[in-house]
Amino acid sequence: MSFVTHMHLALEEARAAAWRGEVPVGAAVIGPDGRLLCSAGNRTRELCDPSAHAEMLAIRAACAALGTERLIGCDLYVTLEPCAACAGVIAAARIRRLYYGAADPKSGGVAQGARVFTHSQSHHAPEIYDGIGAEAAARLLRDFFAGLRGPR
Ligand SMILES: [Zn+2]
C-alpha cells in the first residue's frame, strides 16, 4: 500500500496564514474516503481569539460540515506539533491519525510538554506520525519570525 500525504494542503494554508500576517501554521482534515473535508490556517490575530489555531479551526469546520462533534475515521494534517489545547480537541474529536510537521519545543503538547495523549484522562489517542514535511513547515516559521525582526 502506498502512503499518500496530504501535508501539502496544510502547508498551503500555512503559507496563506503568513500572507495574512499570522503565524504560519496550517491544517487539513481528510475524511474517511481520503478526500479533503476542511482546511484552515492560523487566525488568532484576525479573530482576536487565542484558540483560533489552524487545527482547531479545521476541526470545527469539519464537524460543522458533517453535523457531528466526532470525526470518526478522519485524519488531521498539521504543519506544526499541536499545542495542549488542540491535542485535547483532537482527542475529543476522535481523530484517527494525526500527521504533523515540525516539532514545537515552545508550545507543543504531543511529543513534549503536556504530552496530552499519554494520560489516562485522554479519552482517545490518534495514531501519530511526526516529521511529515517538517522542513518546509519549519522554514515557513523561521522566515516569518525573521521577517518580524526586520532586515539585519
Ligand atoms: Zn493549538
- Say if residues 100 and 80 touch (Cβ distance below 8 Å): yes
Question: Distance from the CA of 147 to the center of ligand 1, in angstroms?
Answer: 22
What is the pLDDT at residue 19?
96
Q: Is the pLDDT of residue 1 over 80?
A: no
With a threshold of 0.75, does the pTM exceed it?
Answer: yes
86 marked ligand binding residue: yes
Strand boundaries in the chain, DSSP class E: 26-30, 36-41, 75-80, 97-102, 127-129
Question: Distance from the CA of 1 to the center of ligand 1, in angstroms?
Answer: 32
- Say if residues 79 and 27 touch (Cβ distance below 8 Å): yes
Q: Is the pLDDT of residue 64 over 70?
A: yes
- The yes-or-no answer on residue 55 being catalytic is yes
What is the pLDDT at residue 150?
72
Q: In this prediction, what percent of the chain has a pLDDT beyond 70?
A: 97
**Pick the catalytic residue: 55, 81, 127, 135?**
55
149 — pLDDT class (breaks 50, 70, 90): confident
